[in-house]
Structure 1
Amino acid sequence: METLEVGRAKLTWLNGGVTFLDGGAMFGVVPKPLWSKKYPVNEKNQIELRTDPLLLQIDKQNFLIDSGVGVHKFTDKQIRNFGILEQSKVEQSLQELGLTTHDVDGVLMTHLHFDHACGLTKWQGENLVPSFENATIFVTDVEWNEMRNPNLRSQNTYWEANWKPIEKKVEPFSKEVEIVPGLKMIHTSGHSDGHAIIVFEDKEEVFIHMADIMPTHAHQNPLWVLAYDDYPVTSVHQKEKWTKAGFEKQAWYTFYHDAYYRALKYNTKGEIVDEISRQRYQYTD
């Protein structure tokens, strides 16, 4: 498992599963000859997208950033449509680190789309229960409200199975919340109305988790936004704002979805100056 230390925070990428989604949908109006140079596509025009939670260890606490695709949460049709070749092995990843699901103190949910939220619940016999028994789940109030009351479009990604078992563990926030000193979740909207990013600053060391406003390294250009975005113009402005701020601070940008990089650092010109690459391997599911 790849790791990164930023100030007093340690990040470790867990195995949360993988999806293969339509490349055109992931890059919106950007022509395929442009985006495919930056991010490989398969014969079905799909791109590989990890769904790997980040274990954030800080101040003797264990947090997860998002939760993976879970285990046995999909029908055969959904497995085909979403290109799920590997389901979550988060519990196994935690065990390799000497931890269990009971040791997770909080889950920082950037948003609640199925590919981020399915890992919040797990099967216990015939019932779904919280995956992280002792964890408080942080999410924006806007996102939490839409999760429970989806519209005609969002009902395809906000599932009752992912919220009902954990509703007593959720702590919604409005504009921003400081989880521990220097670690903030900030409401941006854009990808979804309740989408949030995560920013950590410890003196001069910074990491920014842009979640699905910049899901892969190939989405660095502010204008390259997803067809899945509910508010694409907001995504453009928020990405422009937070890349400019982060480039000036030499921040690390961390990824949940990127199949090739775990984290990248850029200079003020937007050029990559440091990287944490993802170890590649053959899928076993």
Structure 2
Amino acid sequence: METLTFGKWKLTWLNGGVTHLDGGAMFGVVPKALWSKRYPVNDTNQIELRTDPILIQMGERNILIESGLGKGKLSDKQRRNFGATEESSVEEDLQKLGLTPEDIDTIIMTHLHFDHVCGLTKRDAAQNKYVSVFSNATIYASEIEWNEMRNPNIRSRNTYWEMNWQGIEEQVKTFQEEITILDGIKMIHTGGHSDGHAIIEMTQGEETLIHMADLMPTHAHSPSLWVLAYDDYPMASIEAKEKWIKEGIRRNAWFTFYHDAFYRAVKWNESYEIQEKIERKR
């Protein structure tokens, strides 16, 4: 498990599973001749995308960013369509760190698409329903996102699934424009990838860390115009990327990733050259 020391906090990437999605969809209108120079692609035009939650440990607090693919949540057809070749082992990774799911007190959900939220619930056969995996956690998401999760439209119903919100309703706390989770961690609504998408800004003294979530799912998505075909509001994605990537570079911030198969975190200079990096062990 890769780690990053950020001020007095420790970030650890847990194994949340892996998908392989169409490279063209992940880079939108950008020609393959350009994006394939930055991110490897297989012979069926798929790229590897992790779904690895980030554990933040700060004293007695244990916080998760996202929740992974979970276990047993995808059908055979979905595993094939999403190229899901590995399920989550978040609970096993927590155990290696001396923790259990009950020790997680806060979960920050940038949005609620299936590949981010499947790990929040599991099937309880005895009760014949889905129940919370992290029963003691407060789960944060934007109000727009939570509302659409439970009332998806004809497009979004393919990624907002009832089984992923059943069992956690009483744990969810929503916000509108922004919310301070605790001193040094702020969620900011951006829209773009989804209407309710949010990013995370962390500060420790003079240090800054920005988690752009699916506005910048991999290091290869740093150009502001390189947005996903999956984005519901691409111009909002571009606007948010223009603002926050430039702001992060100005502040010498770490940028962290949930989906990147190669880098966990990077720092760029003003020429978008990588100055520091944490590579994923493969």
TM-score of the aligned structures, taking structure 1 as reference length: 0.97
In structure 2, the residue matched to 1:78 is: 78
The equivalent of 1:134 in structure 2 is 136
2:90 pairs with 1:90: yes
Q: CA deviation at 1:84?
A: 0.5
1:252 equivalent among 248, 254, 259: 254
SS in structure 2 opposite 1:102? Answer: helix
**Does 1:183 pair with 2:162?**
no
What are the within-5 Å matches in structure 2 for residues 121-270 of structure 1? 121-125=121-125, 126-270=128-272
**1:39 aligned partner, one-letter code:** Y
Aligned-residue offset at 1:59: 4.4
Letter of the 2:270 counterpart: T
Given that 2:10 and 2:56 are in contact with CA atoms closer than 8 Å, whether structure 1 keeps it comes out as: yes
Is the CA contact (8 Å cut-off) linking 2:132 and 2:167 kept in structure 1? yes
Q: Does the 8 Å CA contact 2:254/2:265 hold for their aligned counterparts? A: yes
Other structure's SS at 1:165 match = coil
Residue type of the alignment partner of 1:184: K
1:57: how far off? Answer: 1.2
Contact 1:250-1:268 within 8 A present in 2 as well? no
Take 1:121 and 1:20, find their aligned partners in 2: how far apart are those partners? 22
Query: Quick check: 1:41–1:47 contact (8 Å CA) kept in 2?
Result: yes
Write the deviation string for residues 217-250 of structure 1: whole angstroms up to 9, x where unpaired: 0000000000000000110010110011100111
Residues 15 and 53 of structure 2 are in contact (CA less than 8 Å); yes or no, is this contact kept in structure 1? yes
The answer to whether the Cα contact below 8 Å between 2:181 and 2:187 also exists between their aligned partners in 1 is yes
SS in 1 for 2:265: strand
Report the counterpart of residue 62 of structure 1 in structure 2.
62
User: In the aligned structure 2, how far is the partner of 1:151 from the partner of 1:231?
Assistant: 14
Aligned partners of 2:95 and 2:59: how far apart in 1?
Answer: 20
Counterpart contact for 1:190–1:229, Cα < 8 Å? yes
Q: Which runs of 4+ in 1 moved over 4 A?
A: none
CA contact (8 A) 1:198 1:208 kept: yes
Contact 2:131 2:166 in 1 (8 A): no
Q: Does 1:274 align with 2:276?
A: yes
| Displacement of 1:267 | 1.7
Q: TM-score, normalised by structure 2?
A: 0.98
Long gaps (5+) in structure 1: 281-285
Mean alpha-carbon deviation: is it higher for 58-67 or for 33-42?
58-67
Q: 1:30 maps to which residue?
A: 30
Residues of 1 paired with 2:162 and 2:63: CA distance? 23
- Do 2:216 and 2:222's aligned partners in 1 also have CA atoms closer than 8 Å? yes
The CA RMSD measured in Å over matched residues stands at: 0.8
C-alpha displacement of 1:127: 2.7
Aligned length: 280
Corresponding residue of 2:4: 4
Alpha-carbon distance between aligned partners in 2 of 1:245 and 1:270, rounded to the nearest angstrom: 13
In structure 2, how many angstroms separate the alpha carbons of the residues matched to 1:229 and 1:150?
A: 15
